[in-house]
A and B are shown apart, each in its own frame.
Chain A
Amino acid sequence: MGKKLLLANDHVPGIQSLDVYSKHGGYAAVEKALKTMTPDALVEEVKTSGLRGRGGAGFPTGMKWSFLAKPEGVPRYLVCNADESEPGTFKDRYLMERIPHLLIEGMIVSSFALGANTSYIYIRGEYFYIVRILEKAIEEAYAAGYLGKNILGTGYDLDLYVHPGAGAYICGEETALIESLEGKRGNPRIKPPFPAVKGLYQCPTVVNNVETIAAVVPIVNMGGAEYAKIGIGRSTGTKLISASGHINKPGVYEIELGVPVEEFIYSEEYCGGIKNGKKLKAVVAGGSSVPILPGELILKTAQGEPRLMSYESLADGGFATGTMLGSGGFIVMDETSSIVKNLWNFTRFYHHESCGQCSPCREGTGWMEKILHRIMDGHGKQSDIDLLWDLQKNIEGKTICPLGDAAAWPVASAIRHFRAEFEAYVNNPGSIKEVRHYYSVNNLQPA
């Protein structure tokens, strides 16, 4: 069994209650941090831990915290990003549902480190039943004196609130999230200024993912140096992976960073291999936005080294032969899958979710969806493949927020690695009609 820091107790009966959570060592980090450490020492500890943001970009958390501006007399905010809408990602839901106090405890310690006296958990509106779970946990934490005025007699005050969104993927982007929290449309802001300087209500703000904030708890408990020993290289600690698609055991797995991808897919401890004994065709390793890799390249790097579940190893080879760890949304496709059809599904998603502020993203995602649809319908032309390539190139890097890149990368990587499949479809339009692509829901067999 791998090392578990976040989900060690997720199956303990009643762990959702403060009582049981405390009996299993819960709130020790709040006691330690607030009573024995200074905010600056906490930031240092997180820096030492090497923790990197678990929301997708992997930016070092301690460094992000140290950028927070601290003008006199201006409030600072910590906002937890629980918008979780990246297709293939469901780990934050699992964590909040199973062990809500871990997030609450992380929010208290992190807010203290940043000098925030009001903090928000921005959660996607569809996770409504989790809002209830979190609100109950927060109520318990107030009653136990971990929230509110003068926490544990230390003089530190903190109020924590849950704020629901209402269905918009773009609100996971941190500046769109802030706009949404201010009661507006979720249009990303032009940066700079960065949220660390002007965020929520134009005040210095840190936005961190649920899992990032939860990881601060074990870091405080064990110390940053001990945490940094877990994992591999600059990929320290553990990571929650949401595994789905054509595997025998879909679910959320906490892995020590550095586990070989092959072990993750095939061992009984994790995904348990491909459904129905089929062959692996491709993997989207970090949520829909990261480049798709064919089976050979996800198991081994271009140099033939085993590929590991770490930020560096998954990125090895750049976009030519590598991908990204992203949010850890690990979608597995077997040999019956159609890359082109799946790509259309992703592209439709980005087109639907584009906020419409930048024309390359708004128009480009629409065109890409249309062209892919045409190919799927058996009306594709050879020139469509080149057109798709040009379109994605004209989106990438030319937009206000990274949703544009997120829409471009799946297209670029699908063409890069599976061009032959596109060509087969345009050369023999009848062939795509026969590809049913998805499993029949009743027997979970390829139809």
Chain B
Amino acid sequence: MNNSSTNIENPVFSTESLALVHKIMKRYPEGKQKSALIPVLHLAQAEFGGWLSPKVMDYVASLLSIQPIEVYEVASFYTMFNLKPVGKCLIEVCRTSSCWLLGAEDIVHHIERKLNIKEGETTTDGMFTLKTVECLGSCGTAPMMMVGADFHENLTLEKVDDLLEKFRVENKQSRYC
């Protein structure tokens, strides 16, 4: 999250995040702390560099008193969890029907050209990763992309240019939690 000393080789949550983990675990009945897994993985991904390394997953398993395999299984099922490093700023463009009908493909190609990467790749400076994703519930404001927790809607190529510029200037980190 905001802890610059986080070490993904030896991951330990900040005190603040650890308190949040314990608060999340209390939402579920006694003995059902495994329910906290997805919310805690979101927290871990945000805090430990935007992806879930095996060490981070093992750490989460120990916090929730479950087996590491139970964490790997879940982390590999859900598309929001990155099992490989991603750029600092992850750009996710919706590729599904309504966005597609209104030009999502143009948006993807434009970003590919601008950043000189293909969909799924990361820029060599590690700044941007481009992904395409399925419908994010912005079909009425298509086309759209999500960056961190922010929805950018009614996109045009110009808007995309402005956003990319802004992200670069701000050195935007897309993580959230």
Tell yes or no: B105 within 8 A of A by CB.
yes
For the complex, what is the distance from the CA of A85 to the CA of B139, rounded to whole Å? Answer: 11
For the complex, what is the distance from the CA of A437 to the CA of B105, rounded to whole Å? Answer: 11
Tell yes or no: A183 within 8 A of B by CB.
yes
- Tell me if B104 and A164 are in contact (CB < 8 A): no
Residue from the list A168, A288, A331 in contact with B78, Cβ < 8 A: A168
> Which A231-269 residues have C-beta < 8 A from chain B?
242-246, 250-252
Known: A163-B27, A165-B38, A244-B142. 17 other contacts (CB 8 A): A75-B29, A90-B138, A128-B176, A169-B134, A183-B34, A183-B74, A245-B98, A342-B97, A345-B96, A352-B134, A353-B134, A438-B106, A441-B107, A441-B155, A442-B103, A442-B106, A444-B103
Tell yes or no: B83 within 8 A of A by CB.
no
Tell yes or no: B89 within 8 A of A by CB.
no
**Smallest CB separation, B23 vs chain A (Å):** 10
**Smallest CB separation, B67 vs chain A (Å):** 12
- Tell me if B80 and A126 are in contact (CB < 8 A): yes
- Tell me if B140 and A168 are in contact (CB < 8 A): no
- Tell me if A167 and B80 are in contact (CB < 8 A): yes
**Within 8 Å CB of A329, what residues of B?**
139
A residues contacting B by CB (< 8 A) are 75, 84-90, 92-93, 118, 120, 124-129, 159, 161, 163-169, 180-186, 201, 242-246, 250-252, 284, 288, 329, 331, 333, 337, 342, 345-346, 349, 352-353, 437-442, 444
For the complex, what is the distance from the CA of A120 to the CA of B143, rounded to whole Å? Answer: 31
**Within 8 Å CB of A337, what residues of B?**
101
Complex: chain B residue closest to A88, CB-CB: B139
Chain B contributes a number of interface residues (CB within 8 A of A) equal to 54
- Tell me if A242 and B140 are in contact (CB < 8 A): yes
**Within 8 Å CB of A345, what residues of B?**
95-97, 100
**Within 8 Å CB of A242, what residues of B?**
139-140
- Tell me if B156 and A441 are in contact (CB < 8 A): yes
| B63-100 interface code vs A (CB 8 A; 1 in, 0 out) | 01010001001100111110000000000000111101
- Tell me if B29 and A201 are in contact (CB < 8 A): yes
- Tell me if B102 and A439 are in contact (CB < 8 A): yes
A–B Cβ pairs within 8 angstroms, 17 of them: A86-B135, A88-B135, A161-B27, A163-B38, A166-B81, A167-B78, A167-B79, A167-B81, A182-B34, A244-B140, A245-B102, A246-B101, A252-B140, A331-B97, A438-B105, A440-B103, A444-B103
B residues contacting A by CB (< 8 A) are 27, 29, 32, 34-39, 41-42, 64, 66, 70, 73-74, 77-81, 95-98, 100-107, 133-143, 146, 149-151, 155-158, 176-177
* Residue picked from B106, B140, B142, most chain A C-beta under 10 Å: B140
For the complex, what is the distance from the CA of A349 to the CA of B132, rounded to whole Å? Answer: 12
8 tightest Cβ-Cβ pairs between the two chains A and B: A441-B103, A166-B78, A167-B79, A183-B34, A183-B37, A167-B80, A244-B139, A250-B140
Complex: chain A residue closest to B159, CB-CB: A441
For the complex, what is the distance from the CA of A186 to the CA of B156, rounded to whole Å? Answer: 35
**Within 8 Å CB of A87, what residues of B?**
96-98, 134-135, 139
